[in-house]
Amino acid sequence: MNHIFYIMAKYNVPVKVKKRLETLGKLISAARRVRGFTQAQLAERAGTSRPTINHLESGKPNVIWSTVMTVCWLLDLPTDPDLMDPIRRAELLAEAGDIERARGLKELDDDF
């Protein structure tokens, strides 16, 4: 019974938590790219695998917490995106080429 609960809990993540994981993943991806690391290089420095870094950047909830902490430390990022200075966050995303996300804007498709 505990095993079933564990499997269910693994995939039933509250929406707010999932959104934070996705935001943190985007910031990690941006910081990695700004520093010129590949996923494989960051994985080697963090003592993990490239697929784990990919899962982390994708916001998947199954990454071990110590890996999250290590990667954030290597990239000089807080583990909670809300603790990051909004201006620094916007600059980081802009540097990584995510200008629309950094500004919080989406292009309007008005081509009728």
Q: What is the mean pLDDT of each run of 10 residues along the chain (112 residues)?
A: 43 84 93 93 97 96 91 90 82 73 49 46
User: Tokens 């804007």 label which residue?
Assistant: 105
How far is it, in rounded angstroms, from Cα 5 to Cα 3?
5
Residue ranges of the domains in the chain? 2-99
pLDDT of residue 84: 81
Specify the pLDDT at position 87: 86
Dihedral (C-alpha) 33, 34, 37, 39: value to the nearest 10 degrees? -20
pTM of the model: 0.70
Answer whether 79's CB lies under 8 Å from 24's CB. Answer: yes
CATH T-level fold of 2-99: 434 Repressor (Amino-terminal Domain) (1.10.260)
Q: What is the pLDDT of residue 89?
A: 83
